[in-house]
Amino acid sequence: MADKKADKKKDRNRSVDPAVLEILARTEDSGIDTAYDRFLKMQPQCNFGEQGICCRICIQGPCRITKKADKGICGASAYTIVARNLVRSELGGCTAHADHGLHSTLLAKEVVEGNAPDYTIKDTNKLYAVAERMGVSTEGKEDKAILKELVDIALEDFSRLDGKDLTWLPKVIVPERTEKFKECNILPSSIHRTIADAMAQTHVGMDADPVNLVFKGLEVSLADYTGEHIATSLSDVLFGTPKPVVSEANMGVLDEEYVNIAVHGHNPILSEMIVQAARDMKGEAEAAGAKGIKCAGICCTGNELLMRQGVPILTNYASQELAIMTGAVDAMVVDIQCIMPGIQAVSECFHTRIVTTSPSVKIPAAYHIDFDEERAMEKAREVIEIAINAYKERNKDKINIPQFKNKVVAGFSMEALLDIFAAVNPERPIKVLTDAIESGELRGVCLLAGCNNLKRIHDQNHSVIAQELAKNNVLLVATGCAAQTYAKFGMLNADAVDKYAGDGLKAFLNRLNEANKDKLSEKLPLVFHMGSCVDNSRAYDLMTYMAEEMQVDTPKVPYAASAPEAMSEKAIAIGSWAVSLGMPVHVGVVPPIPGSPLVDGIVLQIAQDVYGGYFIWETDPEESAKKILAALDERTWKLKVHNMAKEQYETEAISKTW
Ligand code: NFS
Ligand code: SF4
């Protein structure tokens, strides 16, 4: 027993990232505590919580469902408690994305009104494209006037109270989906109204019906999707739509001779300025004895900067504290979301400064710069100064950078993908993809998304599932921390195609490479990095375009999603909209739902009957890949049968709706 305990304490193998393993190995006696250690100390975790049958919604609780007490004090059954907890998680995710989307919208408003002098409209093509999608005419209008109309639509979609339908969402999904959502009464009226209503609906003594609650959760998830779509669209307008870009990833991107700044969080509004200021302040860094300034990204801010600026990826969620333990990070600048409070304690063992920048994300003892859009560049320069000052205090003996990094080809926005497809079929670019599925060359598309979760071996599910799917000719797109795993592991480059892709996928990618050889400086990667987690909206746009080409509702498209190491409430919100919008959604960590077999059944089966999308819980990576493949195969098979019937009987056998 004692030995077992000691072994647990020494478990330094909770990752498959070689850089992480190297740092974990040397932390043995350092006394530094990271998430990997705290996870072990937390064991065993509470079974009631894991099952979702602990209720703390009122302070008569906590009420836990047991054999002896099969209802809470108020009489709530396991199904009510589980469903209510699920809705509250979806709400957590939705509010995070709403906050992000609203921030982007308000920045756009400031740009229109001339109050944010350091920002401009960078991408007028995207501005026109979004305007067209929203039905805003652009004729004879100044760019700012167009942007103003988009801002007005977005702001109304955040705040409308009159019960009318959202404007943004129905414009970016197939009409059959909108009909379905209206029919089931889950089309949100506005983002903030849906959030408020769902909070009220889950108060003590409110909704007890699990189906009604689960469906409310799906409405919340559609509000979440709207917030994400707005965030992506307006960020592209203000900062540029990503195009293929070459960079690198993993701890080896740090360079001892430079001032190193880790940029961490989610919102490009600040980090875009930091990157610009870092370029401008090279001289100051040189004066301090460095060769210059290097920025490297963590989590989705990292993805945003990689996609638009080619800034390298440092690491992903689980290993954020370990980046500090290289001794070479002078400042870690954080904005919002997925920032472990644990980074501060680790930073205190080094010279690293933690700099918070959002009024809603402060960490005791960290530096805080009140970022404000009106004086964006000035604030960004303040942050860089903190980093340069820290650089002067570096302890050379403590610097030890794991020398692992891989080449990355990223930047695949929807626009970039269409451009690549257009080299093969200029009239109907997306047909290149749907044809490849129809001919059997590809078995479908899978979006690999989501977080790291310390319950899993860090990055293992991500890498194994992707390798299995690639071998089986699935076209892979990725976002979030999943995409960062692939970046770190060399799976976002063409070498990975030779190594992992099946023959069909190879042939498909080669055809695209051949057609684009004058246009692309690099061959296409195994996995297409589509951006941050809000950019899952890009990945769903892809499904929507495929559905339009195939003339079917989205649940018929052979397109699945997987969150192999899901962790955050945002991931739960995303998984839920992916289900309502028609995807089979694999999750590699079972969320707190199985405590009610009824609710479990609703999200696994009833959701499918009504919306066409459904969840798959599977923790084993090989099994997960098999289940994702089965879900894709079922859809391609059905499409084939329908198409055969259509030809044989010359009828429109294929119904468009789910
Ligand atoms: Ni998505 Fe991106 Fe990472 Fe998870 Fe966090 S950074 S928003 S939530 S942990 S993928
Ligand atoms: Fe218990 Fe009901 Fe209160 Fe939940 S809402 S804590 S089940 S009494």
Give the pLDDT confidence of 114-136 residue by residue, as tens digits: 999 999 999 999 999 999 999 99
As given in the structure block, the two tokens for residue 235 are 């960020």
Per-residue confidence at 2, pLDDT binned at 50, 70, 90?
very low
pLDDT higher than 90, residue 527: yes
User: Which of 81, 87, 203 to mutate to test ligand 2, by most ligand atoms within 8 A of the CB atom?
Assistant: 81
- 621: confidence class by pLDDT, cuts 50, 70, 90: very high
Gap from CA of 463 to ligand 1 centroid (Å): 17
Rg (CA), the chain: 24
**Which has the minimum average pLDDT: 67-71, 91-95, 595-599, 654-658?**
654-658
pTM over 0.75: yes
Nearest CA to ligand 1 atom 9: 451
Nearest ligand (C-alpha, residue 574):
1
Ligand nearest to the CA of 65: 2
Q: CA-to-CA distance for 394 and 398, rounded, in angstroms?
A: 8
> Regarding beta strands 406-410 and 245-249, do their DSSP bridges make them parallel or antiparallel, or are they unpaired?
antiparallel
Quote the pLDDT of residue 640.
Answer: 87
Sign for the pseudo-dihedral over CA of 570, 587, 445, 521: positive
pLDDT at residue 150 in the model: 98
Nearest CA to ligand 1 atom 4: 451
The C-alpha atoms of residue 379 and residue 629 are separated, in whole angstroms, by 48
Q: How far apart are CA 233 and CA 227, in angstroms?
A: 10
Rounded distance between C-alpha atoms, residue 414 and residue 545, angstroms: 10
Q: Which two tokens stand for residue 125?
A: 């093509």
Q: Which of 239, 248, 253, 264 is nearest to 310 (CA)?
A: 248
Cα gap 77→360, rounded to integer Å: 35
Please give the distance, rounded to the nearest whole angstrom, from the Cα atom of residue 298 to the centre of ligand 2.
Answer: 39
Q: Please report, rounded to a whole number, the percentage of residues in the chain having pLDDT higher than 70.
A: 98
Each residue's pLDDT tens digit, 476-524: 999 999 999 999 999 999 999 999 999 999 999 999 999 999 999 999 9
Q: Which of 145, 168, 307 is nearest to 231 (CA)?
A: 168
pLDDT at residue 600 is higher than 80: yes
**CA 449 to centroid of ligand 1, rounded, Å:** 9
What is the C-alpha to C-alpha distance for residues 578 and 584, in angstroms, rounded to an integer?
8
DSSP category for residue 524: P
DSSP 27: T
CA of 55 to the centre of ligand 2 (A): 6
Q: SS3 for 389?
A: helix
| Pocket-testing residue among 53, 64, 204, ligand 2, by greatest number of atoms within 8 A of Cβ | 204
Residue 642 CA from chain centroid, whole number: 34
Non-local CB neighbours of 396 within 8 Å, separated by 6+ positions: none
Higher pLDDT: 645 or 361? It is 361
Mean pLDDT over 280-289 rounds to: 98
Q: Specify the pLDDT at position 1.
A: 38
For residue 472, the one-letter residue type is: N
| Calpha distance 266→317 (Å, rounded) | 12
pLDDT of residue 270 exceeding 60: yes
Q: Taking a C-beta distance cutoff of 8 angstroms, is the pair 315, 243 a contact?
A: no
As a whole number of angstroms, the distance between CA 271 and CA 297 comes to 9
